[in-house]
Structure 1
């Protein structure tokens, strides 16, 4: 039996808006029965024989059996191929509420549709050639974007930016493969068909550098998409909770002059220089006074081990102590920044001592007075991304695409090894070029498997 997601002759339907009360709820229908369903469940305010494509119509959804109105709606029929899926698509704009939307959806199912699977609308857009696989993944990236930069990056991918770069790489490789295949088919020709040196330069100076550039941007893109974990660490009462509140611009953590006020881990999300950041306020690092504090200190050390960036905080109103040096040894192996807090009440001689206390110059801040926070934010961004605050990269492959690029690069390295031989075998060279081409084709979906498509589209929401 053919799985439901492969039966593109079916008509599918789903609620396309988030659950819960709201002004408008949307039900999306795609497939050959879209117009038939419209005629069965929709009663226009003015009777009509024909529905124009891409035009809104006002009326009511009614139960075809009883004739009872269910909701006052607007509908739009978008005929193929000028639709999201390149199939006939019907959208019903109803009042948003769980009961009314599910009631309309029940009528749509009875009228000839089946429930859509997660991501099935976008999957059909891919299968019908409207978008490629990289663009399909960009749809999900747009939905889950956690920052303005992540959204811009996803939009560039949706517009075909990554696909165009991959296409250009494939065209260069296809040119090389064509020459190689001629050398395989006509080995007895007197004319030299294969020019190893020219091919080597093309691979090493043009194709591989472009693959490396794409790979280099992948990690930066991951940071913009997923964000980073920033742990605030230090002795008790150095101002970690005050810094958390300052970066969040709200009173999230309790702040008192009593050391050890924070006993558990507090996590909140924020944006720092446009980067999604999970801020983690931890218990002060010291010998615990009781079992509860001991658990908090243990959790703090666990968070330190998993942090992308550690902000090691010290109290500038006090001179450096041996305890600060000991605790610093715990964090120095992690990507870290040192911040000297409370500079608004710190004696100048203390600040001078702190300036020379660490291997690298610290950042001087006051969490309560919001001094130095912009510099700290920029330093966090720079440590996470590798450069100061800026626009995200033009193109940044995701993890799946990065793995495919790595396979392509490995195949091309093997091709270079073959070309370095005194008499390169075109048969072996052809195999490696084909391997690189197949890896690149996986990125855009020109070569793919049903298992891969299932894995990608299963992460989408219903209605998309």
Structure 2
């Protein structure tokens, strides 16, 4: 697919900057380069040129690179102008290039969309590029790079090939059972492999929560009675005054969140309203939000003021929790009573480093080995579950005949194809590519 029009966009970061990268793709690319750079440049060689506007005025001095299609990112002719990163320079360059007939400003994700439509990337690799652009932690970067390199696609396409082979063998047995070169009965081998594939897909789907943690963060929720020190701990972890701290119970009414990077893992810490009986109407709403948030947590921090310990009730029993004694500095030489996992003082900083290390260790354990191949999108999980459903139906459908069982293998392979974009994904494209920045 070669587009009729060409697109241009600023592909570097926010201006002003040291360098601005302006990218163009499409059939007019060569003409634009020849006009602005005063002649053609060598393929894939950065060349310093004076850059001229169509009215003959000098816009800037900069580097020009030309990547001829189809061996380019988009599969079309692509060029980049590396110019000084002032707003006026970049604006004049974009205005000039978009002024050529057949050239327009790019839509969000349009460069990557052309790469997909031209077969340079599949849909999973495209989604991984979006993750790579948005990566904020080392775990997110490693996960995105692995998928952008095709590891996830290779897994799904491998399953799809096995299903296509299984279907071919079943249909060969149906149509040519009397031929000598067709094995006597392939059913046992085929259905044994299908059964193994169901187990493989199930294990793969089980890794989705780890992928969610990598992408969205390990959820830590701070819970406790009023004045247990929740907001003080929250501010200490955020290293700023993110929450109001007073001696008055019920100061925190809504959920407050801060994002941490602990050893390359994204961790989201949420401060909540103090849990107590008979609160006011507004405070009761905050308490209800706190209890609801606890049910979505990966880890709860249950805080108790050591000088006035008040245990909290009605917390999820199935969510891992750390019981933390706060305000240890107020005890002086007294020995804390009760079973606690940690003691902290936000005034003196006691125990905070150890608590962060414990949270970071649990977050790292939750994602496991970042090198594992995991489903990175909910749509992957939904299609994988449909694949399993068709495979299970094929396995249990002996009374319906081999023809219908072979059809269910086809439907299962079709769902795997939809994940990578090999089959019927037009309705997904606008949603996926709208998540990209303009110049990608």
- Bin of the TM-score, shorter chain as denominator length: 0.7 to 0.9
Q: 1:214 to 1:221 in 2, by over 3 A?
A: same
Q: CA deviation at 1:299?
A: 2.5
Q: 1:332 to 1:218 in 2, by over 3 A?
A: closer
Q: CA deviation at 1:462?
A: 0.8
SS of 2:439's equivalent in the other structure is coil
- Of 382, 394, 406, 1:403 maps to 382
Aligned to 2:207: 217
SS of 2:22's equivalent in the other structure is strand
Aligned to 1:32: 27
- Of 405, 413, 426, 2:392 maps to 413
Q: CA deviation at 1:152?
A: 0.5
Aligned to 1:343: 328
Q: 1:348 to 1:406 in 2, by over 3 A?
A: farther
Q: CA deviation at 1:171?
A: 2.1
Q: Distance in 2 between matches of 1:7 and 1:296?
A: 60
Q: Distance in 2 between matches of 1:271 and 1:18?
A: 22
Q: Superposition pairs for residues 41-60 of structure 1, below 5 Å?
A: 41-43=36-38, 49-60=39-50
Q: 1:374 to 1:217 in 2, by over 3 A?
A: farther
Q: Distance in 2 between matches of 1:129 and 1:95?
A: 33
Q: Distance in 2 between matches of 1:118 and 1:89?
A: 17
Q: Distance in 2 between matches of 1:407 and 1:348?
A: 62
Q: Verify: 1:266 aligned to 2:256, yes or no.
A: yes
Q: Verify: 1:428 aligned to 2:404, yes or no.
A: yes
Per mean C-alpha deviation after superposition, the further-off stretch among 388-397 and 129-138 is 388-397
The answer to whether the Cα contact below 8 Å between 2:137 and 2:266 also exists between their aligned partners in 1 is: yes
SS of 2:396's equivalent in the other structure is helix
Q: CA deviation at 1:344?
A: 4.2
Q: CA deviation at 1:260?
A: 4.8
Aligned to 1:83: 72
The answer to whether the Cα contact below 8 Å between 1:60 and 1:71 also exists between their aligned partners in 2 is: yes
Q: Distance in 2 between matches of 1:384 and 1:56?
A: 43
SS of 2:314's equivalent in the other structure is helix
Q: Superposition pairs for residues 93-104 of structure 1, below 5 Å?
A: 93-104=82-93
Q: Verify: 1:139 aligned to 2:126, yes or no.
A: no
Aligned to 2:190: 199
Q: CA deviation at 1:161?
A: 0.7
Q: Superposition pairs for residues 62-81 of structure 1, below 5 Å?
A: 62-64=52-54, 66-81=55-70
Per mean C-alpha deviation after superposition, the further-off stretch among 210-219 and 193-202 is 193-202
Aligned to 1:46: none
TM-score of the two chains, using structure 1 as the length reference: 0.84
Aligned to 2:7: 12
SS of 2:12's equivalent in the other structure is coil
Q: Verify: 1:169 aligned to 2:159, yes or no.
A: yes
Q: 1:296 to 1:68 in 2, by over 3 A?
A: farther
Q: Verify: 1:365 aligned to 2:355, yes or no.
A: no
Q: 1:296 to 1:23 in 2, by over 3 A?
A: farther
Q: After superposition, what is the alpha-carbon deviation per residue over 1:394-438, rounded to whole angstroms, capped at 9, x for unaligned?
A: 2121212121111111111111102xx3x6611111111101111
CA root-mean-square deviation? 2.9
Unpaired runs of 5+ residues, structure 2, are none
Q: 1:451 to 1:264 in 2, by over 3 A?
A: closer
The answer to whether the Cα contact below 8 Å between 2:418 and 2:425 also exists between their aligned partners in 1 is: no
SS of 1:351's equivalent in the other structure is coil
Q: Distance in 1 between matches of 2:330 and 2:315?
A: 27
TM-score of the two chains, using structure 2 as the length reference: 0.88
Unpaired runs of 5+ residues, structure 1, are 1-5, 44-48, 356-360
